[in-house]
Amino acid sequence: MEKIDGKQVAETLKQRIAERIKNEYEQKGIERPCLACILVGDDPASQTYVASKERTCKQIGIDSVVYRMNANSTFAQIASKIEYLNGDERISGILLQLPLPANLRKYEDELINTINPQKDVDSLTNVNLGKLFSDKNQIAPCTASGIIKLLKEYKIDMHGKKVTVVGRSLLVGKSVAMLLLKENATVQICTSKTVDLAKETREADILVVAIGKPQYITADMVKEGAVVIDVGINRIQKTIIDEKTGDEVQKSVIVGDVDYQNVKDKCSYITPVPGGVGPMTIAELMNNTLILHEQRLEDEFAPTLARR
């Protein structure tokens, strides 16, 4: 078994982006990319993600602005902020941090589609999803494109391989399925409702799991020698022995959708949680921001930076 080190791959990608920004923008006095994030409410996980995005932007030379809005903000207030950013020429990409508070969740799709597709950094508007499904996209949802980058970095052949994706979200499941099809993989999408899910997962050469259920995929559900990509991030309580007192205590730990400890010995490659897919999501967000920035300035500056 070889562990896929998403953190290392992400660091390499971020360093490459930082060099491009320094050489092609800062040294030439050209406006740098700028990422705008709208954070509604006080969800701790969302706050952590946004803070990480801010740090990464600063680290690699992308300007960033964060608009923090109260959980009681109205649809109109959030839509107005998005429209303002659509018209702000310094903004390269706009990210609406999801999930929204419960009282606003029914508006998520409409608010996402208020974002100008040319600034839709997470590629979730109907326009950009349509381009993804018709093979005309320049960018893709960050987690999905990060998974493909990891597979390529580890020289894992996707051509003709049977891939099972467990999870059907637009953000991961459906999007990564489309990207895998472009790599000539044979792809099926399953859910927790799939009849005899274990049979389907056991037949997969590459198994991508994004179902949001902690340690749901067990060793008996995985083919010997398979490649397992675990997208899940779940916080659970685990009983451990306190080294000082010898007492049993409850500790909060992060686990994936795959039972890593029992599955890893059956795999040829596997992503750990944390440290696997997660770091790639933020790195791809930076990459998407740069690509959208280049597209916006292309007519005026005609940058020669390589596309993905």
pLDDT digits over 6-44, tens only? 999 999 999 999 999 999 898 888 899 999 999 999 988
The answer for residues whose C-beta is within 8 angstroms of residue 118's C-beta and 6 or more apart is: 292, 295, 296
Question: What is the spatial distance between Cα 214 and Cα 150, in angstroms, rounded to a whole number?
Answer: 22
For the chain, which residues make up each domain, given as ranges?
22-116, 142-277
Kindly name the residue from 14, 81, 97, 215 that is annotated as catalytic. 97
Burial zone of 271 (CB within 10 Å; 0-12 exposed, 13-18 middle, 19+ buried): buried
Nearest CA to 249 out of 261, 257, 241, 260 is that of: 241
What does pTM read for this prediction?
A: 0.91
pLDDT digits over 257-283, tens only? 999 999 999 999 999 999 999 999 999
The CATH T-level fold of domain 22-116 is Rossmann fold (3.40.50)
43 an active-site residue?
no
pLDDT digits over 136-177, tens only? 999 999 999 999 999 999 999 999 999 999 999 999 999 999
pLDDT digits over 188-247, tens only? 999 999 999 999 999 999 999 999 999 999 999 999 999 999 999 988 888 777 777 778
Which residue reads 């005309």 in tokens?
A: 136
Task: Provide the residue count of the chain.
Answer: 308
User: Comparing 248 with 162, which gets the higher pLDDT?
Assistant: 162
63 an active-site residue?
no
pLDDT digits over 48-63, tens only? 889 999 999 999 999 9
Instruction: Tell me the pLDDT band of 299, cut-offs 50, 70 and 90.
Output: low
Strand partners, 33: none
Tell me the H-state helices in the chain.
6-21, 44-60, 75-87, 108-112, 126-133, 142-153, 173-182, 197-202, 260-263, 277-301
Tell me the H-state helices in 61-170.
75-87, 108-112, 126-133, 142-153
DSSP state of 163: E
Nearest CA to 268 out of 212, 205, 221, 209 is that of: 205
162 an active-site residue?
no
Kindly name the residue from 120, 122, 230, 259 that is annotated as catalytic. 122
Other C-beta atoms within 10 Å of 133: how many? Answer: 14
Other C-beta atoms within 10 Å of 229: how many? Answer: 27
Fold equal for 22-116 and 142-277: yes
- The predicted pLDDT at position 236 comes to 87
Encoded tokens for 212: 């949001």
CB distance 14 to 56 below 8 Å: yes
Burial zone of 162 (CB within 10 Å; 0-12 exposed, 13-18 middle, 19+ buried): middle
Architecture of the domain delimited by 142-277:
3-Layer(aba) Sandwich (3.40)
Kindly name the residue from 14, 53, 119, 223 that is annotated as catalytic. 53
